[in-house]
Chain A
């Protein structure tokens, strides 16, 4: 594989805090190795800004191995950039060519207010989880497989849904800023397993109520969320949540 360094022009959203209006600033990032991740490229840019006595660009990051869900950049019109099933930290500069202009924006949704620059406050997701994304009792150690039978297909579907890292790319991509892919993944993960089943109805009712309270839009099944999800969570989870919600709300006893 060819190793080379490239020069790119960055148009980055700068915003001091959640109250002030932001705007785009243009920076040149020169001599960037294509082996660098997108965030490493931003580290280089920030070093450069610090040397120049300027305020570095604030952005969220933590594990830098694609599993924590912290990185959240909207790159050239797509959450997490051009690669499929990928987080920003796992996006590498070989995705770009020498001389490219890259536009970097924060997630845009009123439920995710900008904290600074490219950082947004995603605690709305935490509150949705607090509303029902848990099992009330300690489920203890892993039991013998024959003590608690689980249908393989359901276990697989729950596991696939549990892969959601809560990064919020689904909200960022959705034209309605709907959080349905996230909420449905978290509900599907617990609802399909025997430990989560007893609280299924209250879980979906409470999580959906909190989701609405946070100001996320409604799902119109466009599929944009699924297309950008770094963990390829299926929108079939949304249809499943729709069914579970209808049953739960129609059969609720109070």
Chain B
């Protein structure tokens, strides 16, 4: 039993999907928490994105976070490539399909549509990275005017968000992505734990409920960000 044999087995490949999925879920917790600081503006009119800009600056200027960022990109790539390879392998296991499909008799549509939902998320990532990650790390497009807090110059990520979410089609695209994320997480969260081997029914039930709560909360919070900026709830 070599490591190669393990990780090229169907269970091994799924294990990689599950572990990278859980890693990306842990990243989502960080991402949504930091971005939710834009809502500080709702409670303190003088905030003007200060809390968010400082948090973003902390993430961008901390060495450990930058190292983790490399791991994150690796995790995303592995999850995407492995996902497509598994989808192809699974499709190849049945060349002649059924005349009458089982459909939703026995399984949920979103559990059977992880490839499609993942593809929508991948398309969204291209858009999302070009909006924020690429300007913040490389091009500085839209970030030419830094903000200064306590003598430290920082990217005005809050300003970039406001500018980005002033266009309706962008807001719509982000909402579609959040809906895809919701369904992807709803299956992915509990499926990942089954794949890594959690087989105690008490925990599986608990994880199912946590998965529901997590999927709703994260997707809703993310979706509210472009909406709040487009509707100028936050200025």
Residues of A participating in the B interface, judged by any CB pair closer than 8 Å: 11, 13, 24, 74, 76-78, 103, 105, 108-111, 173, 175-178, 180, 205, 208-209, 211-212, 215-224, 226-228, 235-246, 248-250, 252, 254
Does the CB pair B15–A242 fall under 8 Å?
yes
Whether B196 and A246, one on each chain, are in contact in the complex, defined by CB atoms closer than 8 angstroms, is: yes
Interface string of B187-201 (1 = CB under 8 A from A): 100110111111101
Question: Across the interface, which residues of B come within 8 angstroms of A176, CB to CB?
Answer: 90, 93-94
Cβ of B137 under 8 Å from chain A: no
Q: Does B106 sit at the interface, judged by CB under 8 A?
A: yes
Q: Could you tell me the distance in whole angstroms from the C-beta of A32 to the nearest C-beta in chain B?
A: 20
Contacts of B11 in A (CB 8 A): 208, 218-219, 241-242, 245-246
Name 18 interchain pairs, CB-CB below 8 A, sorted by A.
A78-B105, A175-B90, A177-B93, A178-B90, A215-B92, A220-B111, A220-B112, A221-B187, A221-B195, A222-B108, A222-B112, A228-B102, A239-B194, A248-B1, A249-B5, A249-B6, A249-B9, A249-B12
Does B152 sit at the interface, judged by CB under 8 A?
no
Complexed CA–CA distance, A111 and B114 (Å): 24
Q: Are B1 and A236 in contact (CB under 8 A)?
A: no
CB distance from A204 to the nearest CB of B (A): 9
Q: How far is the CA of A228 from the CA of B98 in the complex (A)?
A: 16
**Chain B hits for A24, CB < 8 A:** 99
**A246 interface neighbour in B15, B114, B194, Cβ under 8 Å:** B15
State whether A242 touches B107 (Cβ < 8 A).
no
Closest 9 CB pairs of A and B: A243-B197, A227-B106, A77-B100, A176-B90, A252-B1, A239-B199, A217-B93, A218-B10, A217-B90
**Residue of A with least CB distance to B97:** A108
CB proximity of B212 to chain A, nearest CB, Å: 15
A108, A215, A239 — most chain B CB neighbours (10 Å): A239
The answer to whether B15 touches A178, judged by C-beta atoms less than 8 angstroms apart, is no
- Interfacial chain B residues near A250, Cβ < 8 Å: 6
Q: Is B86 an interface residue (CB 8 A)?
A: yes
Q: Given known contacts A177-B90, A217-B93, A223-B108, what 14 new A-B pairs fall within 8 Å (CB)?
A: A13-B99, A78-B102, A78-B106, A110-B92, A176-B90, A217-B10, A218-B86, A222-B106, A226-B106, A236-B199, A236-B201, A243-B196, A245-B9, A254-B1
Q: Which residues in chain B, 163-209, are within 8 Å of chain A measured between CB atoms?
A: 187, 190-191, 193-199, 201, 204
The answer to the question of B26 belonging to the interface, with a C-beta cut-off of 8 Å to chain A, is no
Looking at the assembled complex, report how far the CB atom of B128 sits from the nearest CB atom of chain A, in whole angstroms.
26
B89 interface hit (Cβ, 8 Å): yes
Interface of B toward A, CB cutoff 8 Å: 1, 5-6, 9-15, 86, 89-90, 92-103, 105-108, 111-112, 114, 187, 190-191, 193-199, 201, 204
Complex Cα gap A58–B49 (Å): 72
Closest CB in chain B relative to A180 CB, distance in Å: 8
From B1, B10, B15, B111, give the contact of A212 (CB < 8 A): B10
**In the complex, A105 Cα to B196 Cα: how many Å?**
35
Please give, as numbers and ranges, the residues of chain A lying within 8 Å of B94 by CB-CB distance. Answer: 108-110, 176-177, 217
- In the complex, the answer to whether A211 meets B111 with C-beta atoms within 8 Å is no
**Interface contact A242-B197, CB-CB below 8 Å:** yes
Q: Are A108 and B102 in contact (CB under 8 A)?
A: no
List chain A residues, Cβ under 8 A from B93: 109-111, 176-178, 215-217
* Contact residues in B for A13 (Cβ distance below 8 Å): 99
The reply to whether B199 and A223 form a contact with Cβ atoms under 8 Å apart is no
